[in-house]
Amino acid sequence: MMVMILLMMVEILEGGEGEDHAEIKKEIQEDKAKFLKERDELQNEKKEAQRDSARQRAEMESHDYILQSDGEPSSAQATERRNKIREMMMHAWTGYEKYAWGANELKPIAHTGHSASIFGKSAMGATIVDGMDTLYIMGLHDQYEKARNWIAHEFNFNPTSDISVFEVNIRYIGGLISMYALTKDEMFKNKAAEIAEKLMPAFNTPTGIPFGLINARTGTGRNWGWASGGCSILSEFGSLHLEFSYLSDITGDSKYLDKVQKVRSILKSTEKIDGLYPNYLHPKTGKWGQKHVSLGALGDSYYEYLLKSFILTGGSDTQALEMYREAIEAMERKMKQTSNSGLVFFGDFRGAKVEKKMDHLSCFSGGMFALGSKYINNPEHYLELGAQITETCHKSYENSATKLGPEAFRFEGHGEAVAMRQNEKYYILRPETIESYFVMWRLTKDQKYRDWGWQAVEAIEKNCRVDAGFSGVKDVYASRVVHDDVQQSFFLAETLKYLYLLYSDEDFISLDEWVFNTEAHPLPIRKNLR
């Protein structure tokens, strides 16, 4: 319409005379040319956007959903509960998508993005990368496709400040290679390798023990300022093996495995303290730091990765299994405790004393002991030990007003499996106890683990659900809940995934075919262990 008006004005002025008419005619012709140029540019942009959209649709349609089943359980009750977990995932995801898309995490009450220090200062979509395989496993295909499209075309891992090597490995690399395993989509593998390259300078130390923090732009590594005189942390540098080993498998490049195998060799050869691994090791001297041993914070996933490295390789990594066996035998001798009422727990070992405290983080070990029972001597003992630890952790939930487990709990005086210090009373949507419920259910089929899982679901729904997602709580013993306003990425990656699998058919993501990294990202076992 605008072009027609301009043409009519030009025709009217054709018969005119004088400089004024000529000038006006010139201006109209210039406006016409400008308008036509802008129209053509807009049309070209529209065509390009349509081509991009078609290409992206074709790209996404080319990746088949290769899970052999949807895991639908035979029990009507399990089906109902499983559907509820899927709805919880949708609620958590929708809030993130609406208010924090592309940010690392969501503040579901403030309706904004959030980023913990482990991610640095950059928005790098941690929740998208971390939660995507949960979407895929739950069959939430529309949400998965949007997440995949974001990673393929918008995700740029270029943090501007120091980042945690451990957290990036388990959440980003772990999440991406798990998606590659589930879909065989090369894009995921390539993205994982790009990120791994940015972590590699962290290993440039005299011992090969990596720093805990890396600046991805400069390649400069350092350790946390609070970590025992510049030491690296056992649970961090000892929990890289699964991801780097599998990355070498799928890329054909051994350099990733070489890095973590050197770490393993140092840990194997370094003299232990009564067979125990302290939580701190200096990357320059190779000497232990503080004589503090823990199955919880600072130690936990190192032991998990010894066992799971053996499982991941189909039983060929016998060194890992031997080191696992020696480590848990030493911890049983030195750290296992039984409370006055008969609750079994592992306290932290400091010097010659055992602290009568257990971290929520260490509640994963119920599942670990049970899972490992198949591969070492005295399997009945370790299956029972797994059951005992899981029951202790369940008690910590049962003993709180909210029926949520505290960050740490103690066994002192008349109190058993309860937090006694204010800074131990919070719950940040952690998965470890639920992880043990899942593993124990798969191995024993004891209905109580599904029932305990459902109690946790009801407690999370009652105390953590808010209008735009789920939030941690500051005091699990308080009758009036106060939220911390953070929806952790691991809530989607781990807590909801383990709950979903707890109510799925046992052959769905089978423990005979898959092993989970410490962020609950499943990786395929090289060959089944028989």
Q: How confident is the model at residue 20 (pLDDT cuts 50, 70, 90)?
A: low
Which contacts (CB < 8 Å, 24+ apart) does range 177-180 have?
177/243, 177/246, 177/247, 177/250, 177/521, 177/523, 178/133, 178/517, 178/521, 178/522, 178/523, 179/132, 179/133, 179/136, 179/148, 180/250
pLDDT value at residue 415: 86
The model's pTM is: 0.88
Partnered with residue 469 across adjacent β-strands are 466
Architecture of domain 78-524: Alpha/alpha barrel (1.50)
pLDDT value at residue 67: 78
Per-residue pLDDT for 57 more than 50?
A: no
Weakest mean pLDDT among 4-18, 215-229, 366-380? 4-18
Q: How confident is the model at residue 62 (pLDDT cuts 50, 70, 90)?
A: very low
> pLDDT digits over 392-416, tens only?
999 999 999 999 999 999 998 878 9
Residue type at 486 in one-letter notation: V
pLDDT value at residue 60: 42
Dump the DSSP string for 495-515.
IHHHHHHHTS-TTTT-TTTEE
User: Which one of the listed residues 130, 145, 167, 519 is annotated catalytic?
Assistant: 167
- Is 497 in contact with 518 (CB distance < 8 Å)? no
Per-residue pLDDT for 1 more than 70?
A: no
Binding site as annotated, residues = 518
Please report, rounded to a whole number, the percentage of residues in the chain having pLDDT higher than 90. 84
> pLDDT digits over 126-177, tens only?
999 999 999 999 999 999 999 999 999 999 999 999 999 999 999 999 999 9
pLDDT value at residue 475: 98
pLDDT value at residue 481: 98
- Is 141 in contact with 161 (CB distance < 8 Å)? no
Active site residue 322: no
User: Which one of the listed residues 300, 304, 348, 416 is annotated catalytic?
Assistant: 300
> pLDDT digits over 458-474, tens only?
999 999 999 999 999 99
pLDDT value at residue 303: 98
The Cα–Cα gap between 36 and 92 comes to 47
pLDDT value at residue 349: 97
User: Which one of the listed residues 162, 317, 407, 519 is annotated catalytic?
Assistant: 407
- The arithmetic mean of pLDDT across residues 92-110, rounded, is 98
> pLDDT digits over 67-100, tens only?
768 999 999 999 999 999 999 999 999 999 999 9
pLDDT value at residue 69: 81
Active site residue 461: no
pLDDT value at residue 120: 84
The Cα–Cα gap between 494 and 502 comes to 12
- The candidate with the shortest Cα–Cα distance to 504, out of 130, 71, 155, 43, is 71
C-alpha distances in Å from residue 515, one per residue of 165, 294, 308, 313, 450 = 21, 23, 7, 10, 21
pLDDT value at residue 29: 73
Query: Does residue 401 or residue 18 have the better pLDDT?
Result: 401
The Cα–Cα gap between 14 and 305 comes to 85
- The arithmetic mean of pLDDT across residues 19-36, rounded, is 67
Contacts of 379 (CB under 8 A, 6+ apart): 373
pLDDT value at residue 25: 64
Active site residue 185: no
- The arithmetic mean of pLDDT across residues 436-456, rounded, is 98
Weakest mean pLDDT among 9-18, 95-104, 166-175, 483-492? 9-18
> pLDDT digits over 489-510, tens only?
999 999 999 999 999 999 999 9
Distance, CA of 450 to chain centre: 23
pLDDT value at residue 528: 43
**String of b and e for 223-260 (b: at least 16 CB within 10 Å)?**
bbeebbebbbbbbbbbbbbbbbbbbbbbbeeeebbebb
Binding site as annotated, residues for Ca(2+) = 518
Active site residue 167: yes
Q: How confident is the model at residue 8 (pLDDT cuts 50, 70, 90)?
A: low
User: Which one of the listed residues 162, 432, 435, 475 is annotated catalytic?
Assistant: 432
pLDDT value at residue 351: 83
pLDDT value at residue 52: 53
Q: How confident is the model at residue 18 (pLDDT cuts 50, 70, 90)?
A: low
pLDDT value at residue 37: 72
Residue 280 main-chain phi, psi, to 5 deg: -125, 135
